[in-house]
Amino acid sequence: MGAYCDENLSFSPACNLSPSHDLRLSKHVHDNVHGNIYLDPLSLKFIDTEQFQRLRELKQLGLAHLVYPGAVHSRFEHSLGVYWLAGEAIQKLKTYQGLELGIDRFDVQAVKVAGLLHDVGHGPFSHLFEREFLPKVLNSFKWAHEQMSADLIDHIVDVHHIDVESEMIKRVKEMILASSEFALPKSAKEKQFLYDIVANGRNGIDVDKFDYIVRDSRACGLGCSFDFHRLMETMRVLGDEICYRAKDYLSIHKLFATRADLYRTVYTHSKVKAVELMVVDALLKANSYLEISSSIQDPSEYWKLDDTIIKTIETAPDEELRESRDLILRIRRRNLYQFCNEYSVPKDQLEHFKDVTAQDIACSQKNGVLLQENDIAVSNVRIDLTRGKQNPLERYHELFMLNLKRQIFS
């Protein structure tokens, strides 16, 4: 039976909770991947804002649901999942090594909030907005959703007068930016392992991947042999870095292999790419009229942008949007760009292989009906194990050796 009051809803579930979860001050939601997710009071203050609720209107896999009908899950549920796993991970470390590592309540709360808000600055249609649309309208200017997440956090705190320590917000933003594209802040000289929980720029093993790999596989109806629970239970910090046991080598490999399989079968599926190319063209044709890209430096306007921009274009009667509207109509009627061919570059030629352009294809035609450069779209896709040319398991070996030395000499 639930007890209702003005602010909080309390429950008495039968499950066991870690000490950091106080049911008197928390609410919970039931997630189809993790079960009950308990939300602490500070996190609820961020969740119950229009800026965070916007994530409900951002599909996690962008336009993949037009090929995999079940892939309609949102950034909202993914963010709750990462919040939960981040909290569970830091609690595991605190339980086993809390005194040794000096993990305190501040650290626990910062990691959880970072997990919750890591995607709050994401653009429409998964990574299409950031990687395909914006580069075509911003020329050389670089924009990253991680930086917008940090900017939006400041905006949310200011607009909603959230009572939170400035040092907490600073730490949360640093954790979100601490990926391979951003340098680790100088303030992270101590407890660097905390910055690897949500977005791990050192070896790519983090709770963000733990959640989306399982969630995406399930939504698309694909099997997933990767099990993050084993890694969560046995991870330890050595040399200020999160390490795993040698016997977990195969679990680590499954993490990266499953991610690569999702890229091959879902994220870069030929029909998914065809729809994405059409949506990019529609957005480009509508940009000057709707000024879609004009809000990317202003958090107070940016949060209003989500996947519904397609419906706006589709239903608007304005003549200026006719070309964009026709492209959306083609998508609705499955009159998609036709997939012509693909070429897999041999591994030994990758280093010297340049991206193929539409001009390259047009110039290579010999006879028959010749296509013009504007008739051709090329998608250059690179699928690796998250570390580029470097095998991430080689880094895992180094972590294990550190573990081994610790066992021998302690």
**Surface-to-core class of residue 232, CB atoms within 10 Å of its CB (0-12 exposed, 13-18 middle, 19+ buried):** middle
Question: To the nearest 5 percent, what fractions of the chain are helix, strand and coil?
Answer: 55, 5, 40
Helix, coil or strand: residue 215: helix
Q: What is the residue-wise DSSP string for 347-397? A: GGGGGGPPPP-HHHHHHT--SSSPPPGGG---------SSSTTS-HHHHHH
The enclosing H or E element of 301 equals: helix 299-302
Q: Do residues 134 and 293 lie in contact, with contact meaning Cβ atoms separated by under 8 Å?
A: yes
| Residue 161 Ramachandran class (φ > 0 left, ψ -120 to 50 alpha, else beta) | left
Identified catalytic residue from 28, 145, 155, 269: 145
* Catalytic-residue membership of 145: yes
Q: DSSP class of residue 184?
A: P
Residue at 263: amino acid letter: Y
Q: Identify any residues that bridge with 37 across adjacent strands, giving them in sequence order.
A: 29
**Distance between CA atoms of residues 122 and 126, nearest Å:** 7
Residue 14's CB is within 10 A of a number of other CB atoms, namely 4
CA 144 from centre of chain: 12
Contacts of 265 (CB under 8 A, 6+ apart): 220, 222
Task: List, by residue number, the catalytic residues.
Answer: 145
